[in-house]
Structure 1
Amino acid sequence: MESNITISSNVLKMQGFNISPQFTYPLFFLLLFVYFSLLVSNIGVLVLIITEKSLHQPMYILFCNLSVNDLIGNTVLLPRLMTDIISTERLITYNQCVAQAFYSHTFGSASHMILIIMAVDRYVAICHPLRYSSIMTTRTVIGLSTSAWGTSIVLVSILIGLTVRLSRCRSVIQNAYCDNASLFKLSCEDASINNIYGLFFTVLLFSSSMGSVVVTYFRIALICWIKKNKELNNRALQTCASHLVLYLIMLWSGFLTIILHRFPNYPDLRKIAYILFHVVPANLNPIIYGMQTRSLRDKIVQILSRKVTQS
């Protein structure tokens, strides 16, 4: 029977993963390696774009947005997760939990928004190459990026705000991390408003994201089919394939996380899906976009060649 007693303690216990002792440190060092890899790659891309004036172009502003978002999202998640893996107590304050949930949901929302802008950018570059520089100006991309971050912050603030208003009758987070669903499950109050807004938030985000990607890619495919230009088709395949693969990975890991919250019998699968949603795109983004973008790739090769020559 659920207790209706309000808990005033500010300290929560994290359930975490049920890991055998022999796998504790291997998992810790695996996550440490993953985190270190995404730090090096994403910070490297940011520093390169900021310091090289030739890369101060609209397309690279989108890469910067993606890298900053990946760094924030994973820094909020992974260090805390690694600490809990080797800790026996796994305690977290309520305020820290709310902050982690806020930044984590903002990361997820901003990821979709930024990829929508990148899909539009690819559409303009492939279907209207002569007008690209006049349509996707630096000012336009900065405005779109600001809108993406602003919309994400507003939507997530309402989501978390509706949860914070609830009283708590439990003190155990049934998860390995803090998210909105885990937070409002601490309450014994009626959370119908939270569920309704959460559904609205999810449907709005995913329908906007999927709709934009489907429309832009359909238009790109249509243009390629009509023009039957081999060079255009190769360029479309090269630039769109990586974007689509990363988008689908993010989309399905996000879907799994949301769906598995409704199936409490698969807690570890839900936790793994959520971690993959954070770490896989963050590690692949700088590699795939960096290697497939000629200007960025040439700069990386040039810097590496210079270092080899000096040594």
Structure 2
Amino acid sequence: MYPNGSVLSLVLTLHSLELPETSIYPAFIFGLTTYLFILLCNVTIVVTICLNRNLHKPMYILLLNMPINDAMGATNLFSQLLYNILSQDTSISYPACLLQGFIVHLYGGASYVILTAMAFDRYIAICSPLRYGAIMNTNNLVKIISGMWLFNFAVIIVLFSLFLNYKICQTHMTDLICYNPSIMKLMCEDTKVNNIYGLFTLVLYHILAFSVVAFTYIHILITCVTNKQSDAKNKALQTCGTHLVVFLFLEFNTLFPLVAHRSESVPAYIQKSCMCEHWLVICINTAKLCPCTRCPYTLLHILDFSL
């Protein structure tokens, strides 16, 4: 048992990828290339929106949060992974583990609130275009962006502050990265409070996001069906289709791993394989948004149909 006073110097051991020596450098190069590609794409989107005054509109400002969040999530996950692959050292300090877990959940929660805010923006733009300027003005936009990040930060900081009350019994992690379910397995005492609050946050994010997205997309679909302008229909479907695919993929990626970790009947290899989906989500989001894989302004012009 490790008392609370010694946890700052405690060193944990993450689960190893168990790569053969001949695969270490190819795996590192592949991972580094993937990470640099993600950064390049996300930075390109940020720079494109920031430098083009025509894109200083509510829709693009909301979209700007997505590449920033993806870059944060990728840096958090790939930095530790690449170090582990190259050095074959899977050790991590307990404070660093908590920080990594905090950012993992902050990234996941932010993905939900950003997509929810974007769904609301598209709903106003398509269903109430004449009121769009009044509703999505600068003051309201600042409130929406500040509110979604503050809400997300507050929920996650409470989740990880609960660990301060527990003592640690073991130092071997069963996962490749640190996050709430894997950290709970290290604790000596009953983690029922953490588990209940973790499930509460999971339900909160999913119900909030799903309710808003379902409500907005039903009304958008009705508007598109009743709209006689074929160009408006196509542009609306292109915009909302990409958004919906990302949202549904995020739903599956978040629910399945967390439920798998909370069920003792799920085999360990399935629980571990679920962790790969965290990197996959970032790659999928990047591929959907990245202007490096297409003409620089294709994505942004597809989105701009109602302003």
Whether TM exceeds 0.5 here: the answer is: yes
Deviation at 1:290, TM superposition (A): 5.3
Structure 2 match to 1:170: 170
SS at match of 1:92: strand
Contact 1:55 1:295 in 2 (8 A): no
Q: Does 1:271 align with 2:269?
A: no
Partner of 1:221: 221
When residues 264 and 138 of structure 1 are mapped into structure 2, their CA distance, relative to the original with a 3 A threshold, is farther
Give the TM-score of the pair, scaled to structure 2.
Answer: 0.89
Secondary structure class of the residue paired with 2:12:
strand
**Does the 8 Å CA contact 2:73/2:107 hold for their aligned counterparts?**
yes
Contact 1:126–1:232 at 8 Å: present in 2 too?
no
Letter of the structure 2 residue corresponding to residue 6 of structure 1: Y
Equivalent position amino acid for 1:294 in 2: H
- For residues 189 and 156 of structure 2, what CA distance do their matches in structure 1 show? 21
Q: Deviations over 1:10-50 (max 9, x none)?
A: 11111132333333322222221111111111112212222
Judged with a 3 Å threshold, the aligned counterparts in structure 2 of structure 1 residues 292 and 278 are, in CA distance, closer, same or farther, namely closer
Per-residue deviation, 1:204: 0.5
Shift of 1:292: 2.7
Counterpart of 2:290 (choices 278, 286, 311) is 286
What is the TM-score when the length of structure 1 is the normalising length?
A: 0.88
Q: Cα distance, 1:149 vs. partner?
A: 0.4
Structure 1 segments (4+ residues) deviating >6 Å: none
Aligned residues: 293
CA RMSD of aligned residues (A): 2.1
> C-alpha deviations, 1:46-103, integer Å up to 9, x for none?
1222222222221111121111111111111111111112222211111111111111
Instruction: Report the counterpart of residue 237 of structure 1 in structure 2.
Output: 237
1:271-293, Cα deviation, whole Å (9 max, x unpaired): 21222233321343234895232
Q: Does structure 1 residue 74 correspond to structure 2 residue 79?
A: no
Q: Secondary structure at the match of 1:173?
A: coil
Distance 1:44 1:82, change over 3 A: same
Distance 2:279 2:72 in 1: 14
TM superposition shift of 1:167: 0.6
Give the direction of change, closer, same or farther, for the CA distance of 1:123–1:296 in structure 2 (3 Å limit).
closer
Equivalents in 2 of 1:228, 1:52: separation in Å? 32
In the alignment, what sits opposite 1:212? 212
Rate the CA distance shift 1:165–1:264 in 2: closer, same or farther, 3 A.
farther
Q: In the TM superposition, what are the counterparts of 1:82-101 in structure 2 within 5 Å?
A: 82-101=82-101
- Give how far 1:295 is off: 8.2
CA 1:295 to 1:53, structure 2 compared with 1: closer, same or farther past 3 Å? farther
Residue 119 (structure 1) aligns with? 119
CA shift, 1:225, in A, is 2.2
| Structure 1: gaps spanning 5 or more residues | 298-311
Give the CA deviation at 1:228.
Answer: 4.4
Question: Residue 14 in 1 paired to residue 14 in 2?
Answer: yes
Local SS of the residue matching 1:293: helix
Q: How many angstroms apart in 1 are the aligned matches of 2:109 and 2:297?
A: 23
1:255 aligns with 2:259: no
User: Cα–Cα, structure 1 residues 48 and 217, in superposed 2: closer, same or farther, change >3 Å?
Assistant: same
